[in-house]
A = this chain, B = another copy of it.
Amino acid sequence: MGGGLGSALIRLGGLSSDSDQVSVDSITLLVALLCACIVLGHLLEENRWINESVTALFIGLGTGTIILLATKGRSSRILEFDEELFFIYLLPPIIFNAGFQVKKKQFFRNFMNITMFGAAGTLISFCVISFGAKRLFETLDIGYLELRDYLAIGAIFSATDSVCTLQVLNQDETPLLYSLVFGEGVVNDATSVVLFNAIQKFDLTQINSRTGLKFIGNFFSLLITSTLLGVLIGLLCAYITKKLYFGRHSTDREIAIMILMAYLSYIMAELFDLSGILTVFFCGIVMSHYTWHNVTESSRVTTKHAFATMSFIAETFIFLYVGMDALDIEKWKFVSRSPGKSIGASALLLALVLIGRASFVFPLSFLSNFAKKSKSDKLSLKQQVTIWWAGLMRGAVSMALAYNQFAKSGHTQQPGNAIMITCTITVVLFSTVVFGLLTKPLVRLLLPPSDHPNIMNSVDPSSPKSLALPLLGNGLESGGGGEDSTPSFRTLLSTPTHTVHHYWRKFDDACMRPVFGGRFSA
């Protein structure tokens, strides 16, 4: 068996280069590595510096090195970084689970801020990075890049890594920041992808005010239709589960239909060229608000944990993958001829990322504070710094977009393109490892947990997260008066600015819940 494993390792190098087919060898190795990541991640749990993504990244890098040595420098990859795999299979469960588990109250309370940071902020960051790259890259002389390429660089490096953010911030410890940074991350991912697609499609040779307006119109109609599609499919699923009540015959059907319809929302959005990320996120929110309350108790436990597990596996897989892919020899060949240029370009991009994010977080926070009346709602400078810092990581979305733009069919033809790919890898690795490692300590330094003792312990009863409690108790539906029993939190919420939420609750109870189910109608 030892010999078998050895020869399998040798084979890996050969197979990955001549065949696109996913081979049994590479699946075995990947699954084994995923298991190793989980065990190591658990053992390092107590460590305050390391998080799961960094562990996976290092395991990926380590495996890459071993394969590189075993194949005598021929190859380090088991699978080519495949956008399709990433966008069609790995991203949807992560974003859906985020929508499903997000604290809806916190999210909608900060809805204006989130969309502002996510949409307007990303546009600002995009402009800063594109403009900065165009100006500064010319002095570096790194090979020919078109205007389209510079705009693409702006979109690529504006995509925050929401996956990594999830692991660094804690929903229970810092709920406000979590919902802000994470919500922004989802909108930001969607914005970057939409921007990127728009850049690839638009005719950039003749930019005038008309095409500019058309571009902006397109952009907002995309955001709105994507959201609506997600809400619609979520409601359809709620209606089906309520009307048919599958649980009568089989819990498996309930779970299967929830998983399939969630995925359907994403893939339908992709089919109609909408933003699947936004669609599946809102589908997740609607499903946790309505559908989740229509199914049997065991389906609730199962969906809550199964979605979280799928998301967890997909996240770990992505970081493992990025780590393993980073060592690919072919990409570094061009760089070895001019290492200075590559390091310069990477440092420049990192600086631009830092500046680009700063140039929207602080001004927009100022604007947001200006509009708020109560002092508790305003964002302090410490919180602003945390928001700025927590969104600096760049991850798999950036990688996927960079591959799409600069490495058609996975191979880098031009020197300029090759350098852009290696720069992206450098920025992703550096920001994930260095920024990621520093975020946990930074958050503790800036916002020690004792600052917000009340909010931290309150459990939002309308979210699946709260299920742990009733399960340990009597195992029956907690439902009912869960919310009214925390009047202090309630009064905190019902400040004048939240009248929209009040009307929504009225509408929800009167019209939506009788049709689609939910906590009170059951």
Contact = CB atoms under 8 A, between A and B. Distances in A.
Contacts of A474: 474-475
A297 B297 CA distance: 13
A28 B305 contact: no
Given A34-B260, A35-B260, A268-B28, A251 B42 contact: no
A306 B302 contact: yes
Interface stretch (A103-111, A189-197, A307-315, A450-458): A307-315
A39 B471 contact: no
Contact of A257 (B39, B251, B475): B39
A255 B311 CA distance: 12
A270 interface: yes
B38 A257 contact: yes
A445 interface: no
A41 interface: yes
A443 to B, nearest CB: 19
A446 interface: no
B475 A31 contact: no
A254 to B, nearest CB: 9
A253 B468 contact: no
Nearest to A475: B475
A459 interface: no
Interface stretch (A19-27, A67-75, A339-347, A509-517): A19-27
A8 interface: yes
Given A28-B271, A268-B28, A471-B298, A312 B35 contact: no
Contacts of A207: none
A264 interface: yes
B253 A312 contact: yes
B27 A88 contact: yes
A256 interface: yes
A32 interface: yes
A272 interface: yes
B267 A31 contact: yes
A256 B42 contact: no
A313 B259 contact: yes
B271 A42 contact: no
Interface residues of A, number: 62
A257 B250 CA distance: 26
A244 interface: yes
B42 A267 contact: no
B471 A256 contact: no
Contacts of A178: none
A6 interface: no
A223 B475 CA distance: 43
A106 B151 CA distance: 66
A256 B315 CA distance: 12
A496 interface: no
A358 B215 CA distance: 71
A172 to B, nearest CB: 13
A297 B471 contact: yes
Interface string A310-345: 001100100000000000000000000000000000
Contacts of A297: 471
A51 to B, nearest CB: 13
A244 B298 contact: no
Contacts of A28: 264, 267-268, 270-271
Interface string A244-276: 101001111101110111011001101110000
Interface in A437-484: 467-468, 471-475
Contacts of A371: none
Contacts of A35: 257, 260-261, 264
Nearest to A25: B271
Closest 10 CB pairs of A and B: A475-B475, A302-B305, A255-B309, A301-B301, A306-B306, A252-B312, A252-B309, A31-B264, A28-B267, A252-B308
Given A31-B260, A32-B264, A256-B316, 13 more contacts: A24-B88, A28-B264, A31-B263, A38-B246, A252-B309, A255-B309, A256-B312, A256-B313, A259-B313, A297-B471, A298-B468, A301-B301, A473-B475
16 contacts: A21-B84, A27-B267, A31-B263, A38-B257, A38-B260, A39-B240, A39-B257, A42-B244, A253-B312, A255-B305, A255-B306, A298-B305, A301-B302, A302-B305, A471-B475, A474-B475
